[in-house]
Structure 1
Amino acid sequence: MKSLVSRTLLLGLLFLAVASSLLVSFLGVSSVDPWIALGTDMEAGLPVGGWLLLLIAALAAGIAWWTELANRSSVTETKRVLEALVLNEDKVMTVNEMRHIPAELKPSLMRVNRLLKSQRTSLSRISNERAENQEKLIQEQLVMERQRLARELHDSVSQQLFAASMLLSSMTEGQEAPPLLLQTEKMVQQAQLEMRALLLHLRPAALHNKSLRQGLFELLTELKEKVYFTIEYKLEDVPLPKGAEDHLFRIAQETLSNTLRHSKATEVHVLFVERNGLAILRVQDNGVGFGSDQAKSTSYGLKHIEERAVEIGAVSKIVSVPSEGTIVEVKVPIERRESDDSSAARG
């Protein structure tokens, strides 16, 4: 309100000065009669000079009020645009939405808008990278902790179970042992299988710059030396992406671990070959198997195997017959490059 009054007074004085200058130029200063007439001649109850002053005051007030409204509209629109920029509402930055903003401010607001967009994009990228790095660090720490736990279990509990198994075997060998002692020996052997299955789960899933064939070969060779049943395998070199190899290796680990814990098998056959453009991983045992009713509640890890297969675009199939065994099969399409196909054709 104060700005309106001060603007009205300023404009009134300005218009009065202009009117006085015009009157001086027209009436002159040599004669006072025209000036006296301005104060004495009456028009509707007011002298001419009074009407002139009233007109000047009305014109000053009208122009002051109009400029005040224009300024308020411009300030309101600018405030709304700035608040929208803070709230990341880009739709207000159209020309029609900014029609009440002074033209000289529009380029600056557009630059501010672009700058805020760039800053938000950079902050989002930094936030995503930080989250990814944090997740990677957590995964690395988990792998290290699993490796440490596996080493401690192997060096302590696993060795003690082995020693107990050897001691019981020597006690039951060459003579008819008591049933309780034989049962204890079986329990210790089962505990050894459980421990080996746990250690197999704790092993890192990554192949560490090895091919899937090499990783499976080392895994199965190690298992053959530690388990009481027969393990046979056929492994081929199959070209697969690193991610697919890691997932297949983890599927093989989980399947073999579950076989050790639950199947009570005497034979396990592992196959990894390429057939008709597909990489096929198959693990088959002759264990106790399970029925369709048991599949929903079993801890066989079926759900994890299916989820891992889906992640690499593979098809998984699990077939189990009670008292006959279980087959876990995963088929992954092999995507060959055109250069590989052309070189094979030339060969």
Structure 2
Amino acid sequence: MNIIQRQIGWGMLVAFFVFVLLVVSFTISFPSVRLVDLWERNLMDIPFILFVPSVSLAIGLLFGVFSGFYWKKQFQSIDQVLHDVEEGRTFQINETGSFDEIKTAFERIRKIQKQITEQAMLSQKLANEKAEDQENRIQEIISQERNRLARELHDSVSQQLFAASMLMSAINETKAPADERETKQLRMVESMIHQSQLEMRALLLHLRPVALKGKTLQEGIEELLVELSQKVTMEINWKVEAFPLDKGVEDHLFRIIQESLSNTLRHSKANELEVLLINRDGFIILRVVDDGIGFDVEESKAGSYGMQNMYERAVEIGGTLKIVSVKNKGTRLEVKVPILKIKDEAND
């Protein structure tokens, strides 16, 4: 039963009480009038005995309908405001009710909205500080370790590949003409060694410290996708808009997209991948869509460290992360983060 039907029911109850009140009042005022006389007396060409219940019913019905629509409008206003707060939208609430209880409810919603906004701003500020502190502490360690691995690979595997390449080149140049099949195989071995050298050089470049520091999120994403598109057969399309972001938000979004792309490459078996980063209606929207085999989101959420990490990173910057996946249709990941201006406290 909706609010209008419920209020009409209350209106019928009001009509009954109005009818009883009119009958009692008439009986007290005119005790000598007989019941048969009420059929003979007319009001507005309607017998008095029918006019009274008709008026009572009309009053009750009008009361129920108008009060029902009034309360429906009030509850719809509250529901819409709560929905906007749930979605993270920040705005001034202008709706007010004519009852103190309604005004109190809206005032409490204002306070809740303010608290949520302050918590999101604080989360982003803490994320900024945490990201900067962690990057300062671990960047040097990562750089040293990558340089060590790159140096060891260069001094061992890379040098051996170079020697093998030189040896095969010398063999092919000095070897007397022989079987065409044998010559083709030797050329193929030389080509494979050369290709391995190229892969090793790419690996050595990849091992060098790569961080978002010094680059914007947009530059980091484009560089990552360009590099990825050169190494995989998957068709990759992207749309990345340029807009300023706080360091902590950039770092978390970059880690989320790295984890998402890693999962796509390892598990999706997709042929196409689309990446979107835009700023719309006060929200940062990051979307990654593939046409892969899909998976069970709820089952994977419980046992996947990577997915849990993405959810936590989104929450830390006051955002939300939603994943929709359909078997044999693909997967869609979307992160929405409200853009909030963090004011520095003068007394810090």
TM-score of the pair, normalised by structure 1: 0.42
Higher relative contact order (CA 8 A, sep 6+): 2
TM-score of the pair, normalised by structure 2: 0.42
